[in-house]
Structure 1
Amino acid sequence: MSTALHTAPGEPAPPPTGGATFRGLRPLIARIHFYAGLLVGPFLLVAAVTGLLYTLSPAIERWVHDDALHVPVTGPELPLSEQVAAAVATRPGLPVAEVRPSAEPGVTTRVSFDAGLPESYRRTVFVDPYTAEPQATLDTYAEWLPVRGVIDNLHRSLLLGPPGQVYSELAASWLAVLAASGLVVQLTRRVRARRERFLPRGGGSPRARLRSWHGAVGVWASVGLLFLAATGLTWSQFAGANVGALRSAMDWTTPAVATALPATSATDPAGNTPAPATAGTATPATADTAAPATTDTVAGTADRVLTAARADGLDGPVEIVPGDPGEAWSVQQTERSWPSQQDSVAVDPATGVITDRLAFDDWPLAAKLARWGIDAHMGLLFGTANLVALAALASAVIVLVVWGYRMWWLRRPVLPGGARGAAGPPGSRERPSPASVGVVALAAVLTGLLLPVLGVSLLLFLLLDAALSARRAAPAAVAGDEGSG
């Protein structure tokens, strides 16, 4: 008959039982959590502050660029060709890269041009759809206006370009490690009551209260933080490239409509004259199709392409991308809130015939998950609720980092002269087992194959811990030798 163990009221619970490997691994997990929080904390703080600013960017964008985004409704919309022609007249000679027709009453039409700007930037003319009068010309970043583009790049690279992206990759990588390791530490630590692992408790020393709040908030935010880390890494510099290569190898890439048109041919291989094209079938490329898509032909063709796409069921906001000479134009829905509308078609610019179509429902599941994950990370999937959730997670990271530094400051030991020294990692007296160190070192090497920034920095943390442990052990060993003598 087994005897149940009971804890007297107010008495700390015994440490959780577990295998020898875990008992040796837990101190190492706690140390990694400590070193990562101490050394990577500034990067996480910058990422969280800029991320919090990003959640405000839609409102800031609407306020700063209201004159470019909105116009009074003064009558029916003019044909798209007239709006495009008005934009082209302001930028003669520049090739049209994209057209975004007005998506709702009172919203301008965007006509973007390739103007030799840095990658992802375009010169965009905003046109009043009711008068065809250009309202503003801005250098946009992808679909974002300048102010939101600056905030996005500040969050992603500190406005330093590719070198600056290492910071955000380091922060995203270690955000996942800190969330997972903190979860392990919090759920396995000694507490008087199980609820203290999930809810902060009052009383005790200032450091004890901080640790309670730090642990509880970390537990509740952990799932969201792991999500932000995983989705953020998908477009990071090194890990993102590896993820992209893996998706390509597994055929999980985002599909796109085929824009190639059949070669011009008067007869088929059997010598028969092709039947007239009907809606939904490809037609041979004509002389007009093969001609370069100049700014003049773009203005004249935009109506035909949009009409064909609308007739095929592409409602809501769309983007029109002119094809290269001899290619179809593509039209894609751009509604990224839930439920996503991302259907697309390819249209022969000479005839307005749909040559290919791709429904979002036909995307591979991995491509859908990637789309939804990125859109949720950017606050687009669930609208205002999504932005509020992101702001809450960013605020959680800020307070967790600040509390972590405060706890470290309060743990400073008193030196013989009365001064304060630097606090070491928690559980310094518990030596990680060699097996646990080997397991984590192997995990660092394997992780480094996909997440090189994380793998390299994790190995550096292990070396740092080994060096500091050896330094602390040396005086103890000398004292032991003197005592035995």
Structure 2
Amino acid sequence: MTNQVSEVPERHEANTEAPTPDSEQPVPGTRDRWAARGLWSRWRPLLLRLHFYGGMFAGPFILIAAVTGLLYTLTPQLDGIVFRNELTVDEYAPQARSLADQIAAARTVYPEAPITSVKPPTVASETTQIAFTTDDAPPDYTRTVFVNPYTAQVQGTLTTYGMWLPIRSWFDEMHRNLHLGEAGRYYSEVAASWLSVVALGGLAMWISRNRRHGRKRLILPDRHRTPKGSRTRILSWHGTVGIWIVVGLLGLSITGLTWSRFAGDHIAQLRSELSWTTPSVTTTLPHTDGTTGAPGDPAASADTVLHSAQAAGLQPPMWMKPPAAPGDAWEVYERKRDAPTRFDAVAVDAATGAITDQSRFADWPLTAKLTGWAIDTHMGVLFGLPNQIVLALLALGLITVIVRGYRMWWKRRPTRSGLPTAPERGALTGLRPIEAAIAVAVLAAVGWLAPLFGATLGAFVLGDVIAGAIARRRKRIAS
């Protein structure tokens, strides 16, 4: 729940709520300054401060991610409409042409480019997709030729990103990096790394605030006992909407970090050490010293490889990846990402059609399955249209939470012409020493896992320390 601010009443509105333990302040002059404060009263200022920092400074990044994510969830069906001519055939024949003929037809478009993958039709009305690596394609993109499987005629060529066609890949890249390349990935990493911290801090504060009012005030906005447009009414909507979407936000944050520049590397390293990585097949042929099994022309062996993969039980949608070097096998893998999912894969010797290695989705570790399902849910493909609708609602809810958070911050300004203030400093000093050590250790661990979170938090703290020193100096001079 982004941008939660303290429950200090506005100077321009009546304070209609009785004081709560959340507003307790340290008792000065006591021998043990922590003894008079409960656990929550000690920890709340730190959570409030983190929530404020995240909401104010990472909030714009999270807002951009929410807006671009919303656009992404609304676009998948557009590719099928706009590129119908490339994707489908109007007339079927009793027998499809061989893959060799279809690859030869695609070769007329890119005679010299290496083939990246071949995707046979999933259903009878689809074209065959043959992707090429070309010098004029953007990094990580391919030029895909769409061939009629019955006539071996080329129906079009598109620039694709993995499985995604141009419209979906354009919005996907906008969400990932705003079309700014590698530098643009930093924005999404800041958003993903702060989202969990902000959401969990807001969740704790909202539950504490409403522990006296029962479940109804926790999950439903107070629309009747607070003035319309008041900060209290805005806070009620801010908190209740946040409660409804917090689990989804945590899922988006964690899965989003797997694609990030720095945190993604650390997560990949952690998954590898814990054996949570996705299984894959070995394409190196065991019986060759590299002088045989040369890639050659994929067209010569494509049909043999396809028949072997089908005989091994693989079903469409599946992709066929030609050998990358002498001594390599073809890799054929299923990619049915909507439930029920299928991710079986085999390595096929082009010369003999023999299966040299295989990976069965049923044998994947549970952690690898859960990781894949979580990522596909984030991308809106696991449950199809219902998945897209849920993601769109999450994005809309997050947008409203962020906007309301900024509205509450603005309403806290001390005068109509003044600027809003931040929560008071000294959150760490209000903790017991062991609690402060735990807090620092946890934040340091999160900062290691997500370096951009650690870097931005460090910058916020440094700026806050400098601002506090300047304020104290001015106060001394004024006195």
Same fold by TM-score greater than 0.5 = yes
CA distance in 2, matches of 1:238, 1:293: 38
The answer for the alignment partner of 1:275 in structure 2 is none
The answer for the alignment partner of 1:56 in structure 2 is 74
Give yes or no for the alignment of 1:145 onto 2:148: no
Structure ID, larger Rg: 1
User: What one-letter code is carried by the residue in structure 1 that aligns with 2:321?
Assistant: V
Unaligned runs of 5+ in 1: 1-9, 266-284
The answer for the alignment partner of 1:291 in structure 2 is 294
Give yes or no for the alignment of 1:444 onto 2:443: yes
CA distance in 1, matches of 2:347, 2:37: 60
CA distance in 2, matches of 1:93, 1:429: 66
Deviates more, 1:256-265 or 1:242-251: 256-265
User: What one-letter code is carried by the residue in structure 1 that aligns with 2:263?
Assistant: A
- SS for the counterpart of 1:350 is coil
Contact 1:114 1:123 in 2 (8 A): yes
Unaligned runs of 5+ in 2: 1-15, 25-35
Please show how residues 143-222 of structure 1 align to structure 2 within 5 Å: 143-189=163-209, 193-194=213-214, 195-202=216-223, 203-205=225-227, 206-222=230-246
The answer for the alignment partner of 1:72 in structure 2 is 90
1:466 shift after superposition: 4.1
Please show how residues 1-12 of structure 1 align to structure 2 within 5 Å: 12=18
The answer for the alignment partner of 1:302 in structure 2 is 302
Deviates more, 1:74-83 or 1:322-331: 74-83
Give yes or no for the alignment of 1:37 onto 2:41: no
User: What one-letter code is carried by the residue in structure 1 that aligns with 2:342?
Assistant: Q
The number of residue pairs the alignment matches comes to 443
CA distance in 2, matches of 1:259, 1:336: 23
1:413 shift after superposition: 1.1
CA distance in 1, matches of 2:222, 2:348: 63
Task: Give TM-score, length-normalised by structure 1.
Answer: 0.85
Post-superposition CA distance 1:108-166 (Å, at most 9, x none): 11001121334321111011122211111112111111221111111001111111101
CA distance in 1, matches of 2:19, 2:412: 23
CA distance in 2, matches of 1:81, 1:380: 31
User: What one-letter code is carried by the residue in structure 2 that aligns with 1:377?
Assistant: H
CA distance in 1, matches of 2:261, 2:53: 24
Give yes or no for the alignment of 1:82 onto 2:126: no
The answer for the alignment partner of 2:42 in structure 1 is 24
CA distance in 2, matches of 1:311, 1:429: 68
Contact 2:338 2:382 in 1 (8 A): yes
1:366 shift after superposition: 2.4
The answer for the alignment partner of 1:319 in structure 2 is 319
Please show how residues 299-378 of structure 1 align to structure 2 within 5 Å: 299-323=299-323, 324-378=325-379
Contact 1:259 1:346 in 2 (8 A): yes
- SS for the counterpart of 1:104 is coil
User: What one-letter code is carried by the residue in structure 2 that aligns with 1:68?
Assistant: E
1:348 shift after superposition: 1.1
1:21 shift after superposition: 4.5
User: What one-letter code is carried by the residue in structure 2 that aligns with 1:319?
Assistant: W
CA distance in 2, matches of 1:57, 1:87: 28
1:438 shift after superposition: 4.9
The answer for the alignment partner of 1:250 in structure 2 is 274
User: What one-letter code is carried by the residue in structure 1 that aligns with 2:246?
Assistant: S
Shift in CA distance, 437/87, structure 1 to aligned 2, threshold 3 Å: same
Contact 2:318 2:335 in 1 (8 A): yes
- SS for the counterpart of 1:422 is coil
Shift in CA distance, 347/185, structure 1 to aligned 2, threshold 3 Å: same
Contact 2:348 2:354 in 1 (8 A): yes
Deviates more, 1:19-28 or 1:388-397: 19-28
- SS for the counterpart of 1:90 is coil
Give yes or no for the alignment of 1:15 onto 2:21: yes
CA distance in 2, matches of 1:217, 1:470: 37
Shift in CA distance, 192/368, structure 1 to aligned 2, threshold 3 Å: closer
Q: Identity of aligned pairs, percent?
A: 44
1:214 shift after superposition: 0.2
Contact 1:110 1:124 in 2 (8 A): yes
Shift in CA distance, 460/472, structure 1 to aligned 2, threshold 3 Å: same
1:20 shift after superposition: 4.0
CA distance in 2, matches of 1:471, 1:403: 31
CA distance in 2, matches of 1:366, 1:24: 37
Aligned partner of 2:422 among 421, 425, 432: 425
Contact 2:210 2:217 in 1 (8 A): no
Contact 1:210 1:403 in 2 (8 A): yes
1:377 shift after superposition: 0.8
Post-superposition CA distance 1:90-110 (Å, at most 9, x none): 211221110000111211110
Contact 1:52 1:394 in 2 (8 A): yes
1:22 shift after superposition: 3.5
CA distance in 1, matches of 2:394, 2:378: 11
Task: Give TM-score, length-normalised by structure 2.
Answer: 0.86
Contact 1:258 1:356 in 2 (8 A): yes
Contact 1:11 1:192 in 2 (8 A): no
The answer for the alignment partner of 1:279 in structure 2 is none
Post-superposition CA distance 1:20-57 (Å, at most 9, x none): 45422211211221121111111111101100011012
Contact 2:43 2:431 in 1 (8 A): no
1:459 shift after superposition: 2.5
